[in-house]
Amino acid sequence: MYRILELLRQTDAFVSGEEIGRQLSISRAAVWKGIRKLRQEGYEIEAVTNRGYRLISPETMYNRQELETGMKTRYMGHPIYFYAETDSTNNRIRQLAVEGAAEGTLAVAEVQTMGRGRRGKQWSSPIGSGAWFSLLLRPDIPPAEASVLTLLGGLAVCRALEDISGMQPVIKWPNDILLNGKKLVGILTEMDCEMSQVHFVVLGIGINVNTKAFPPELEEVATSLFLESGKTFSRKLVVQKTMERLEEYYDIFLAAGGFAPLLDEYRRRCVTLGREVTVLEEKSFLATALDVTPEGELLVRRSDTGEEMVIYSGEVSIRGGV
**Which part of the chain contacts ligand BTN (CB under 6 A), choosing from 43-51, 132-140, 226-234, 280-288?**
132-140
Q: Counting contacts by CB under 6 A, is residue 89 touching ligand BTN?
A: yes
Residue in 37, 78, 118, 138 binding ligand BTN, rule: CB under 6 A: 118
Name which of 45 and 237 has its Cβ closer to ligand BTN. Answer: 237
* Residue 90 interacts with ligand BTN (CB under 6 A): yes or no: yes
Q: Which helix (H) or strand (E) holds 301?
A: strand 298-302
Whole-number Å distance between alpha carbons of 64 and 83: 9
Region of 119-127, 193-201, 210-218, 258-266 interacting with ligand BTN (CB under 6 A): 119-127
Determine if 153 is a binding residue for ligand BTN (CB under 6 A).
Answer: no
Total Cβ atoms within 10 A of residue 214: 19
C-alpha triplet 201, 203, 205: angle, nearest 5°: 170
Whole-number minimum distance, CB 167 to ligand BTN, in Å? 19
Q: Which residues contact 305 (CB under 8 A, 6 or more apart)?
A: none
Residue 26: closest CA among 43, 10, 11, 4: 4
Member of 1, 33, 78, 117 binding ligand BTN (CB under 6 A): 117
- Asked if 206 touches ligand BTN (CB under 6 A), the answer is yes
Kindly give, in sequence order, each residue whose CB lies less than 8 Å from that of residue 130, ignoring residues fewer than 6 positions away.
206, 207, 208, 209, 210, 211, 224, 235
Nearer to ligand BTN, 116 or 159 (CB): 116
Q: Toward ligand BTN, which CB reaches closer, 205 or 262? A: 205
* Binding of ligand BTN by 129 (CB under 6 A): no
Please identify, among the stretches 23-31, 39-47, 118-126, 287-295, the one whose residues bind ligand BTN according to the rule CB under 6 A.
118-126
- Binning the chain into helix, strand and coil, the percentages to the nearest 5 are 35, 30, 40
**Binding status of residue 82 toward ligand BTN by CB under 6 A:** no
In the complex, what is the shortest distance from the CB of residue 116 to ligand BTN, in angstroms, rounded to a whole number?
4
Residue 93 sits at the vertex; the CA angle it makes with 311 and 86, to the nearest 5 degrees, is 110
Rounded to a whole number of angstroms, the minimum distance from the CB of residue 89 to ligand BTN is: 4
Q: Does 186 bind ligand BTN (CB under 6 A)?
A: yes
One residue of 8, 155, 187, 316 binding ligand BTN per CB under 6 A: 187
With 0-12 / 13-18 / 19 or more C-beta atoms within 10 angstroms meaning exposed / middle / buried, residue 63 is middle
- Choose between 125 and 234: whose C-beta lies nearer to ligand BTN: 125
Complex with ligand BTN: residue 20 or 203, whichever CB lies closer: 203
Judged by phi (left if over 0) then psi (alpha if -120 to 50, else beta), residue 227 lies in alpha
Q: Does the protein bind ligand BTN through residue 20 (CB under 6 A)?
A: no
Q: Is 28 in the site for ligand BTN (CB under 6 A)?
A: no
Query: Is 79 or 294 the residue whose CB approaches ligand BTN more closely?
Result: 79
Q: Is 188 in the site for ligand BTN (CB under 6 A)?
A: yes
Query: Exposure pattern of 98-123 as b/e (b: 16+ CB <10 Å)?
Result: eeebebbbbbbbbbbeebbebeeeeb
Residue of 204, 242, 247, 262 interacting with ligand BTN (CB under 6 A): 204
How many CB atoms within 10 Å of residue 28? Answer: 12
Burial class (CB in 10 A: 0-12, 13-18, 19+), 252: middle
Which residues sit at the interface with ligand BTN, rule CB under 6 A? 88-90, 112, 115-118, 121, 123, 125, 132-134, 176, 186-188, 204-206
